[in-house]
Chain A
């Protein structure tokens, strides 16, 4: 069975600091990997995803994630965060024939 572990439940950072949200997965088959973001009182929205090809994927708002097959990781990074990045971030994994499995989420709190 597949599973996703988000190693940090809460990550507090100051504005303009770099941040890394960690995600590890376990699966015996090829996977697709996703990061979703949930702002307060809203549903989730896709931040970025890895399906195949280049292991580094980027979002339009400055986040990036790197698929590392040997370490079974898909960590999310941003070199300089803004107050508006405060939200809950979910890592998720899927493979052919299976549903999307989410990690328990990481709350990113950005303060000035």
Chain B
């Protein structure tokens, strides 16, 4: 099976712009989670989707939003970009939602905000 794919892999934006990142989970996986990874804060949970419904949300401002489509693909959007949004954004999928589930991570999208 193909792994989790994320597009684009690299992105450069300027402050105030918005960005949309895409994640395609492993075939058959219905749960998708998003994480932000930075050197200072480490890995921080953004949100989790299962069957097109948001199950959990991390402590991020409303500028960060996401959605999941009927084919389980997911997008996250960040509006009004700030310099501090520069990070590696990781997507992970699992067959079903649940605290016991192993997360399968994609390679990430590296976002640089200038």
A: which residues have CB within 8 A of B? 32, 34, 36, 41-46, 49, 51, 90, 94-105
Contact = CB atoms under 8 A, between A and B. Distances in A.
A108 B94 CA distance: 27
Nearest to B46: A99
Given A98-B56, A100-B45, A43 B100 contact: no
Contact of A43 (B42, B48, B58, B106): B106
A32 B107 contact: no
Interface residues of B, number: 23
A49 B43 contact: no
Contacts of B48: 99
A87 to B, nearest CB: 13
Given A94-B99, A99-B33, A99-B56, A104 B105 contact: no
Contacts, number: 56
Contacts of A101: 45
B107 A97 contact: no
Contacts of A45: 104-105
Interface string B23-61: 000000000010100000111110010000000101000
Contact of B42 (A42, A46, A99, A105): A105
B87 interface: no
